[in-house]
Structure 1
Amino acid sequence: MRLFNETGWRFWWIALLVLVADQLSKIWVLQNFTLGESIQLLPVFNFTYARNYGAAFSFLGDAGGWQRWLFTAIAIVVTCVLSVWLSRLQRSQLKLSLALVLIVAGAIGNLIDRSLYGYVVDFLHVYYQQWHYPIFNIADCAITIGAGLLIWDSFSSEDEPAQTRTN
């Protein structure tokens, strides 16, 4: 029980929630959109079905297929390493625990896509006039938020007691 109550593993429910939201949203897109189809929701935001055969920003997306296995292996290794790290965190390390859980959830979400389809299903499309951000998904959001929390955690310490001013 200590593993789940006193370590970063106590937040696995968040990973499960993110993973379910990610996979359900991708299934919905696959069932309701044709490749390249787009629906405008806001003047700067569309649902646009795209396939990403590469990594972030389609890095190595046209490499011929071997990248699928490379990114699958990387996702498995990252998930294993971060899972062990989570099991060693103290209960007080909230930001770091949340960061790692979100990164793991995102990595698993995109790993499932690569395993099932050979590509990652993307559909969140942010743009302004002629500028278009690369299309992404909920797993990518989780990884980005997790990375942001990881950076934030590296610049702060939750273990330090609150300091009071003495003027």
Structure 2
Amino acid sequence: MEFKHFSHDHGLVYHQVPQGSEIHCSGCKFPGSSNVYVCWKCSYFLHEQCFCATRSLKHSSHPLHPLTLVSYPTYPSSSFFCNSCNLIGNGFCYCCSECEFDIHIRCAHMTNIATNVHVSHPTNSVPCIPAPNDAHNLNPHDQNHVYPPQNNPFPNYVPSL
């Protein structure tokens, strides 16, 4: 079963990355070794968290305006400065176009705002597998949208790092 995501023109399939393998997420640009959504035609991979991220977010680090998820930085440099971790990013980010406030997608979901310290997510989270036409607004803990993973149509494919 294929799923649509706003960041990619082709359909994506849910895939369980074999143990010991690692992929590079096309969204957040971080490596990963868990379950992903993939377009085999383009070698486009998205972590579950990146695939399931909401398009708009109210975040306590920027209470004035909602933040919008964009699939690439809109600045001429093709990068952004994360207002949470103070590092440069070039992938998915939440931004406020009114204030030029930007935050990595991972920082938006992993920062304890009270202490501004990054914390890790629990590893036992429920997989986010949406209904085919419901990929843009998901609740990652909604167990009503769980489907079995798709088989890899290219069994000899090894993701490049």
TM-score by length of 1: 0.23
Which structure would you say has the larger Rg? 1
Which has more helix, going by share of residues? 1
TM-score by length of 2: 0.23
* More RCO (CA 8 Å, sep 6+): 1
